[in-house]
Structure 1
């Protein structure tokens, strides 16, 4: 079949919306009619060249929701008509991380960068060339063939244009606070960067009972949104946030600093490290250039203050476990989702959506398909 899709032809480059050819689903694969796709910064890293794109053209998008319209041989967990949210890690369920409840670290994660299907081949083609797809799903397309393990079934009464955010931004941010930082009641938490990931770290820290949730972002709109969704204070500069944390902890510093800026550098991590106190943790969730090396951290303080720097993928959650929990909180009114979608775009407006993200006018932009 043919489907329109947003492809990256060069790196760096802009997304180009073109007609592509999509193969039928093979064994343990499904055909999904996409309803919505979030405009996550991770895909923008491919366009700017910060993140690797070993195969071009590349169809972007790894945070989405849609309806299953066909299934390949051997598919047992999904049926035609099921509503799904995508998981950007097609968990196998059998490798060591999966077997120990860490599906976010499944060995199939290697396909996040490769962009091929799990058998090493491609299902999308353009102008006689194979097209890689972000995380083997490519949600910047009207139709997508994806692994069965990339789909999490959701109740049909929920709005797919909203729950699409559970494919990445919400569990990643929420889990950064609740799982990676292990925020406890009464603690002091700094969140650096209040975009599509950081705003959910704010929500998670507030839900966990943090006494002070200090949001840091240079954009006033994002600071105002953070204050509405759980932050107790919002400032424009990490130095001010660090001083605030020390002022309420007897000069010690924050219990956790969560780094969710759009393009993370070693300097950001160093600034977060300087803001935490004894037994504090820096959670690094945002990503930056794959070529950057080095973090300015004092090794004496790291050891003597018993501090940690913790990486965080998908909020340190198994996607199949995270999505139902978050959906339940959403339905109970304990998790804001609708408020995160600042604006929707057509597929043809994908570059406008990313321009708005860079301008700081969006918490999360979402592509919606008719």
Structure 2
């Protein structure tokens, strides 16, 4: 079978024939139908997220269950599934208190590029190939833990179903689950990408009265309006803090979401948040980067500064719910897909991602 393999940081992915083991106990083999091209994969390529290489990247995907290992009960052959790159163990402290997004086991395994038992299922000529945390969706088939294969309705196009696994749950969830945005509030979203567009429509779902989209690409800023943005700010043309204060009668926003992953825009998000408001950091920076904010403002303005990982969601519950919202016309997934690529065009897809051309590029396996 074909897969896109990253052999060295900073290089293009190589499409090559790889071997895939049969699913073991508690594992599922999925015939991939679609996979989103996400900045998190680019972070690995750029060595900002140094997972072990060689590695099959991709974590945002959907497909059809092709085979199941011993003991698998939640899915069967023929089921449509969306993949979950943070499958929880249900046993650790965080899982028990209802925070599967913070699962200790998932956090540990995510840095190893292996399956739960510490071994790999991909290989080339007997040499182990790692996979993006428990998924590896840039391949014609993949093997994942049972908890990483979430059954979904069969009437959703695979390229749309793939997106719920990362950009949709991360963006909508940051608004709905982490911030719990209140109706009638003011919201700003810094970054009009796949996650940012979903944070915007999450704010619209919550009934925010003012939703400010902030980016540097005019075409994307204009598109944010169909997702619910009421105002747009081009950060290359205006001072963002001043512009937000102008729009909000000098107060700042109730909730600010940073979805780029840069220290300077994280600080910017904090600075446009009003006193007693909330700043939510969603974007993924390099592990060695730090954010500078005014220390006195922490006690004197009593803002809440927090992060959101996977939208603080529970994929087994949230994936079907998000797809139901799409079917009901309350969540827009179709406009998120800017371009479809074949697996052989994956490097073109990453070039377009870096150039800011797409909301979401999607690999479709025909």
TM-score (norm 1): 0.95
The CA distance in 2 between the partners of 1:196 and 1:226, in whole Å, is: 11
Alignment of 1:239-278 (within 5 A): 240-261=239-260, 264-278=261-275
The CA distance in 1 between the partners of 2:214 and 2:323, in whole Å, is: 27
* 8 A contact 2:273–2:279 mirrored in 1: yes
* 8 A contact 1:52–1:290 mirrored in 2: no
Is 2:354 the counterpart of 1:358?
Answer: yes
Q: Secondary structure at the match of 1:114?
A: coil
1:30 Cα deviation after fit: 0.8
Aligned Cα RMSD in Å? 1.3
The CA distance in 2 between the partners of 1:111 and 1:349, in whole Å, is: 29
Match of 1:59 among 52, 56, 59: 56
* 8 A contact 1:188–1:245 mirrored in 2: no
The CA distance in 2 between the partners of 1:108 and 1:283, in whole Å, is: 24
Q: Secondary structure at the match of 2:266?
A: helix
Match of 1:308 among 289, 297, 304: 304
Q: Secondary structure at the match of 2:296?
A: helix
1:242 Cα deviation after fit: 3.0
Q: C-alpha offsets along residues 327-353 of structure 1, whole Å, 9 cap, x if unaligned?
A: 111111000001100111000111100
The CA distance in 2 between the partners of 1:245 and 1:162, in whole Å, is: 33
Hey, what does 2:232 align to over in structure 1? 234
Hey, what does 1:176 align to over in structure 2? 174
Hey, what does 1:90 align to over in structure 2? 87
Structure 1 unaligned segments of length 5 or more: list them: none
The CA distance in 1 between the partners of 2:296 and 2:322, in whole Å, is: 39
* 8 A contact 2:21–2:121 mirrored in 1: yes
* 8 A contact 1:89–1:108 mirrored in 2: no
Structure 2 unaligned segments of length 5 or more: list them: none
* 8 A contact 2:233–2:243 mirrored in 1: no
Hey, what does 2:192 align to over in structure 1? 194
* 8 A contact 2:263–2:285 mirrored in 1: no
* Greater Cα shift, 114-123 or 274-283: 274-283
The CA distance in 1 between the partners of 2:196 and 2:126, in whole Å, is: 40
Hey, what does 1:283 align to over in structure 2? 280
The CA distance in 1 between the partners of 2:136 and 2:209, in whole Å, is: 40
The CA distance in 1 between the partners of 2:197 and 2:114, in whole Å, is: 31
Hey, what does 2:315 align to over in structure 1? 319
The CA distance in 2 between the partners of 1:241 and 1:296, in whole Å, is: 17
Q: C-alpha offsets along residues 125-160 of structure 1, whole Å, 9 cap, x if unaligned?
A: 023311110011100000001110101101112211
